[in-house]
Amino acid sequence: MRIEDLEECIDLEIVKTEKRRLEIFLGVMLFGLVLLLINIVFFPITISEIFLNPMSMQLGIYVCFGMIVLLFISRLMVGKISTCEKPLPTGYKFYSVIVESLAPMVWLCFIIAWEQNAAFLDSPLIFIYIPMLIVSALHLSFWLSFFNGLFVAALYAGVSYWAFENYGDGMFLPSIVYYSKAILFLIAGICGGFVARELNKRLTISIQTQEERDAIETLFSQQVSKQVVSALKSRRDYSIKAEVTVLFLDMRGFTERVQHMSPEEVNKFQNKFFGPIIQCIDHCGGIINQLMGDGLMASFGSAEGEQHHERAYRSATDIFESLESSNEGMDDPIRIGVGIHSGEVIAGNIGTEERQQFSISGTPVITAARLEQLTKEYESEFLVSIDFYEKIKHLTNNGTSLGSVKMKGIDQELEIIKLK
């Protein structure tokens, strides 16, 4: 995967994490607003004892509500960016950090000034910065989390200095305690940055791993069918008995044709030869079980619509038509032999833990292979078994019986039919 593509994937993931970050922060602010309203409604006397200026508590509600509105607007903005599949602008990232950090500190400054008491530096509102710095890791940027912690620390240190200079009389704790809090905010931002960096690294590895896995799966899907890939993903020891039609195809005179070609030319020739054939088989719902240098084995299983016998026959006729079209104007036309038989086979993974291959096996496979080999002996291009022919004879009247034949490795004789 190219670095540019990887960065684009990470940028899109950052948009998703930013949506989650805003949703978490919105939940925290809504919870805080509910707590403020509960205190006002159920503990009015205690509130009046804490705040001498009645506007102080109201300002807290306004700031909290304003933050919720800002976060909601930001969430809508990020949602639109996500729909367009664009990365978050750098300006937005710093805007969100600055605005979210400033709002609570503005309220704190007003409260200290109105109440003329630096003790509000210990206000529970300051704890809002804890979840803020925690979820800043979802920016997936060390430097943005570090900037968030540094900005909050600088704001709190500045407000603490101002509060002690103007309203510090009667404070029980020295100013160094509050400067220490500012340092803790900076440390929290740095920690969030390291978490962000680790998340970014793991996300990068995860994307690369998934890309490699998808590439392998795509390559495997080109060797067997997507249905087989899906089955093997769910069960590595996947195997099944099935009634199928097996097709074997072989190119005549392959060795003589390619003996003077370079490896690159041979590969190009094979791709040109197999391309239309594979398309015909795929179009008829067949599975390429094996590709050899000069031939292939395919199988057709049960599916909705046509029977597998009919689909296999249609696939073979399509192959011959395609080959005939390709051979037009050629001095040395390509010839093939096709053998088809139907029956029950075992389909599944064969091999050891270290090396396995998906294959089908059984007498029908051997029979189809033997039929293809007999096309040379009978100077034919298309031979099928009588069992298969009985299933598709309503599609053709070209069948000619060649009698019963004893095939190598098969006990019973089998009547074979010449279709081409």
Q: Which of 332, 314, 334, 315 is nearest to 324 (CA)?
A: 334
Predicted pLDDT of residue 120: 82
Whose tokens are 């098969």? That residue is: 410
pLDDT value for 222: 47
Distances (CA, A) of 7 to 91, 149, 203, 204, 354: 18, 25, 11, 9, 35
Residue 199 to residue 112: CA distance in whole angstroms: 39
Residue with tokens 């939940």: 27
Structure confidence at residue 357 (pLDDT): 61
Cα 195 from Cα 191, distance rounded (Å): 6
Tell me the CA distances in angstroms from 275 to 161, 271, 302, 312, one per residue in order: 77, 6, 24, 17
Domain extents in the chain: 3-217, 226-418
What is the signed CA dihedral for 375, 380, 385, 386, rounded to 10 degrees? Answer: -150
Q: Is 243 exposed, middle or buried (0-12, 13-18, 19+ CB in 10 A)?
A: middle
Q: What CA–CA distance (Å, rounded) separates 418 from 403?
A: 10
Distance CA 296, CA 19 (A): 51
Query: In angstroms, rounded to a whole number, what is the distance separating the alpha carbons of residues 309 and 315?
Result: 10
What is residue 344's predicted lDDT score, i.e. its pLDDT?
83
- pLDDT score recorded for residue 87: 78
In CATH, which superfamily holds the domain spanning 226-418?
Nucleotide cyclase, GGDEF domain (3.30.70.1230)
Q: Which residues of 357-382 are buried (b: 16+ CB within 10 A; e: fewer)?
A: ebbbebebbbbbbbbbbbbeeeebbb
- Beta-carbon contacts of residue 276 (< 8 Å; ≥ 6 apart): 319, 322, 323, 326
Nearest by Cα to 39 from 57, 25, 26: 57
Of 412, 416, 414, 413, the closest CA to residue 400 belongs to 416
| The token pair that represents 360 in the structure block | 């089908």
Quickly tell me which residue has 């093939």 as its tokens.
336
Digit-by-digit pLDDT tens for the chain (420 residues) are 455 565 666 677 777 777 887 888 788 778 878 887 887 788 777 766 677 777 777 777 787 788 888 888 888 888 888 777 777 788 888 888 888 888 888 888 888 888 888 888 888 778 878 888 887 887 778 888 899 999 999 999 999 999 998 888 878 888 899 899 999 999 999 998 898 888 888 877 877 777 766 665 554 444 445 555 555 555 555 566 778 888 998 888 777 777 777 888 888 888 888 888 888 888 887 888 787 778 888 888 765 445 888 888 888 888 888 888 877 767 778 888 889 898 888 776 666 666 656 677 888 888 888 888 888 888 888 888 888 888 888 888 778 888 888 887 777 788 888 887
Question: What pLDDT is stored for residue 158 in this prediction?
Answer: 92
